[in-house]
């Protein structure tokens, strides 16, 4: 199924100042979009609004023509991956995966996910024993398991060296080809492919 995300006149104000305003774009299945801008320009806030974490905004967010605001079913198609991991450090990688399966009420193919992420050798290792780069890859497993259609990645290249960036690129392409949409933010030059981009500066899109 083809999916489409449309943003019309999106504005978010906090403490009487604009976090961002007048944002308009559309992106569809098999596409990746880059949100570029300096620190404090509102990139993370934009992704968190799209994920449903920030509800105080005006404008429209349409997924396949339907407004997502306060629609739990539509919001379940969006998954946000922040810069800080949300892994359970007292559990192993395998146990974290099992927990996500419980949360999303799905049964995943752990062997396939392990191969995709190149984590076969660390499934039984506690999260606290992993490097930041390994934790980043484990966090990607949550996106895959959730089966969400729209991935929202905040600075996904942090802690990743070039070979792991290539791995992430392949994971995104796999997601997009299955009908997914990927939006990610960056404040630096990036080594990931993208189909379109917006630049956020001084609260507005240039």
The pLDDT of residue 205 is above 70: no
**How many residues does the structure list for the chain?**
206
Q: What percent of the chain has pLDDT over 90?
A: 59
Q: List, for residues 132-164, the tens digit of each pLDDT value.
A: 889 988 999 999 999 999 999 999 988 888 888
Tell me which DSSP letter residue 42 carries: S
Do 190 and 43 touch, CB atoms closer than 8 A? Answer: no
To the nearest 10 degrees (0 to 180), the angle between helices 162-177 and 110-117 is 130
Nearest to 86 by CA among 98, 74, 102, 100: 100
- Angstrom CA distances, 111 to 48, 104, 108, 114, 119, stand at 31, 18, 9, 5, 9
Ranges 24-38, 67-81, 131-145, 192-206: which has the least confidence:
192-206
Q: List, for residues 101-112, the tens digit of each pLDDT value.
A: 999 988 888 888
The first and second tokens of residue 54, run together, are 């920030």
The pLDDT of residue 189 is above 70: no
Q: What does the pLDDT read at residue 111?
A: 86
What is the average pLDDT across 71-100?
A: 92
Do 68 and 57 touch, CB atoms closer than 8 A? Answer: no
Q: What does the pLDDT read at residue 107?
A: 86
Q: List, for residues 21-60, the tens digit of each pLDDT value.
A: 899 999 999 999 999 988 888 999 999 999 999 998 999 9
Share the mean pLDDT of the chain. 90
What is the domain partition of the chain in residue ranges? 4-205
How far is it, in rounded angstroms, from Cα 122 to Cα 120?
6
Q: What does the pLDDT read at residue 204?
A: 55
Measured between alpha carbons, how far apart are the two ends of the chain, in Å? 32
- Specify the fold of 4-205: Rossmann fold (3.40.50)
b/e map of 63-102 (b: 16 or more CB within 10 Å)? beeeebeeeeebbebbbbbbeebebeeeebbeebbeebee
Q: What does the pLDDT read at residue 93?
A: 94
How far is it, in rounded angstroms, from Cα 74 to Cα 76?
5
How far is it, in rounded angstroms, from Cα 174 to Cα 61?
25
What is the average pLDDT across 181-191?
A: 85
Do 135 and 128 touch, CB atoms closer than 8 A? Answer: no
How far is it, in rounded angstroms, from Cα 180 to Cα 110?
20
């Amino acid at each position: 199924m083809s999916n489409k995300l449309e943003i019309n006149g999106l504005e978010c104000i906090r403490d009487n100042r604009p976090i961002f305003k007048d944002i308009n774009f559309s992106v569809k299945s098999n596409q990746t979009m880059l949100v570029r801008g300096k620190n404090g320009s509102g990139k993370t806030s934009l992704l968190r609004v799209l994920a449903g974490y920030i509800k105080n905004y005006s404008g429209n967010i349409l997924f396949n023509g339907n407004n997502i605001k306060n629609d739990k079913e539509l919001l379940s198609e969006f998954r946000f991956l922040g810069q800080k991991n949300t892994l359970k450090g007292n559990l192993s990688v395998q146990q974290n995966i099992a927990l996500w399966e419980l949360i999303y009420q799905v049964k995943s193919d752990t062997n396939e996910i392990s191969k995709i992420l190149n984590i076969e050798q660390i499934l039984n290792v506690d999260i606290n024993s992993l490097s930041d780069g390994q934790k980043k890859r484990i966090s990607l497993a949550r996106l895959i398991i959730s089966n969400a259609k729209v991935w929202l990645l905040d600075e996904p290249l942090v802690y990743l060296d070039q070979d792991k960036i290539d791995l992430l690129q392949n994971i995104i392409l796999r997601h997009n080809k299955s009908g997914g949409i990927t939006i990610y933010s960056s404040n630096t030059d990036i080594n990931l492919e993208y189909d379109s981009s917006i630049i956020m500066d001084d609260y507005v899109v240039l």
